[in-house]
């Protein structure tokens, strides 16, 4: 049986401040401001959703908790390379505005081959 591990995007930002892009900081503050606006308008039930508009602009909406609680949004097949272990240029294009200019370019690291050591019995 194969084992996999999945990570939810956003956990690193919550535990390691060095991973937060300017876009993350700005949008986190704007989500908080929008939540206050909805409460002041009498809309107290729901969750603030960030919806991408165009190449990269966002709109904030109040969505019912039932629409997001316990739901998983999967990555589009267009973002996964044919070999199933990498990402495509479409993913890079999607991700770049979220990372912002302050974060470095994505690079692949190549492993040096290490011979397998068999345990003697």
pTM of full prediction above 0.85: no
pLDDT in tens, 22-79: 888 889 899 999 999 999 998 788 999 999 888 788 999 999 999 988 888 888 899 9
**The tokens 């602009």 sit on which residue?**
57
Q: Where are the domains of the chain?
A: 11-99
pLDDT at residue 70, as a whole number: 86
- Sign of the CA dihedral 104, 90, 81, 77? positive
The answer for 54, left when phi > 0, alpha when psi is -120 to 50, beta otherwise, is: left
pLDDT in tens, 89-119: 998 888 888 877 665 565 666 777 777 777 7
Mean pLDDT, all residues of the chain = 80
């Amino acid at each position: 049986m194969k084992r996999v591990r999945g990570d939810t995007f956003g956990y690193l930002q919550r535990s390691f401040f060095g991973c937060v892009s300017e876009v993350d900081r700005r949008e986190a503050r704007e989500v908080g401001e929008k939540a206050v606006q909805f409460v002041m308008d009498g809309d107290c039930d729901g969750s603030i959703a960030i919806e991408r508009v165009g190449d990269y602009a966002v709109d904030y909406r109040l969505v019912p908790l039932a629409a997001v609680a316990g739901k998983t949004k999967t990555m589009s097949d267009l973002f996964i390379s044919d070999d199933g272990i990498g990402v495509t240029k479409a993913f890079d294009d999607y991700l770049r505005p979220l990372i912002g200019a302050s974060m470095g370019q994505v690079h692949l690291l190549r492993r040096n081959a290490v011979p397998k050591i068999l345990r003697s019995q």
